[in-house]
Amino acid sequence: MSHIQMTPELIEKVKTIAVEAGEKIMQIYQQDFEIYDKSDSSPLTEADLAAHHHIVDGLQALAEIPILSEESANIPWDERKTWVRYWLVDPLDGTKEFIKKNGEFTVNIALIEYGEPTFGVVHAPAINKTYVGQVDSGAYCEENGAKNEIKAKAHQTGDTWKVVGSRSHQSPEINKILDGLDGETELVAMGSSLKLCLVASGEAHLYPRVGPTSEWDTGAAHAVALAAGAKVTVLDPDNPMDPDASPLRYNQKDSVLNPFFLVSF
């Protein structure tokens, strides 16, 4: 199986597309708005669509690769199942964070090849932070112009388990997982795909997701996590630390909904 070679120049181009999409989102985010529903006239939809169109136009100019975006998700399975590789895009992840104006929302662009994320960019425009990862080549976080390599970290005996939870979607199953860990636990709240990036950067040990997500919610940050040495596996709430859990894969079925999953070292 051959993979696309993401050259430094190509990586910079994709990163620039994400950053520019973020600028379009911020123009709307910084306005005073009162319409919160994701309807055709809401600021949220305006931001979504502005970012979507910019990303799609930019990626189409780079390569003839199919694009699956949350804002163009009606591509039939009969067509999608023939794809060897494609761009997977969430132009604005973190709807509730956008509405609450807490800054924890992201632009996500992933390259999926043979069902696996091999490259991803996660850009958080409100906090000016960008995560980039290429599997087998490493990952970094760029903040205020400085690039720093990131690596996932294993939990050490005696350390407090830092477990990522959703700021907007708490689930009772999380408590069961926390209770099953040996030692003290600390829940780290975060919104959007930044949750996976916390494990990728070593700021947290685990991110168990036992709520609904779609493939575009996770693809880019999944690639960053893999590139940083973490793994993303299908989660069984009754056996959350199963060492033989299957890797989370993409574009394997008609539905774009993910199963429950766990991000860990």
The 3-state DSSP composition of the chain as helix, strand, coil percent (nearest 5) reads 30, 30, 40
Which residue is listed with tokens 């003839």?
64
Let me know how long the chain is: 265
Residue with tokens 């123009």: 27
Question: Could you read off the pLDDT tens digit of each residue along the chain, which spans 265 residues?
Answer: 777 889 999 999 999 999 999 999 999 998 866 555 555 555 677 888 999 999 999 999 999 999 999 988 899 999 999 999 999 999 999 988 888 888 999 999 999 999 999 999 999 999 999 999 999 999 999 998 899 999 999 999 999 999 998 655 556 778 788 888 888 998 898 999 999 999 999 999 999 998 899 999 999 999 999 999 999 999 998 888 888 999 999 999 999 999 999 999 9
What's residue 145's pLDDT?
Answer: 87
The residues near 128 (Cβ < 8 Å, ≥ 6 apart) are 143, 144
Nearest to 122 by CA among 216, 18, 204, 49: 18
Three-class secondary structure of residue 221 per DSSP? helix
Residue 42, pLDDT score? 57
pTM of the model: 0.94
Q: Which amino acid is at 38?
A: K
Instruction: State residue 163's pLDDT score.
Output: 94
Residue 167: per-residue pLDDT: 58
What secondary structure, in 3-state letters, does 76-119 show? CHHHHCCCCEEEEEEEEECHHHHHHCCCCCEEEEEEEECCEEEE
Predicted pLDDT at 165: 81
Residues 35-59 as b/e (b if ≥16 CB within 10 A, e otherwise) read eeeeeeebbbbbbbebbbbbbbebb
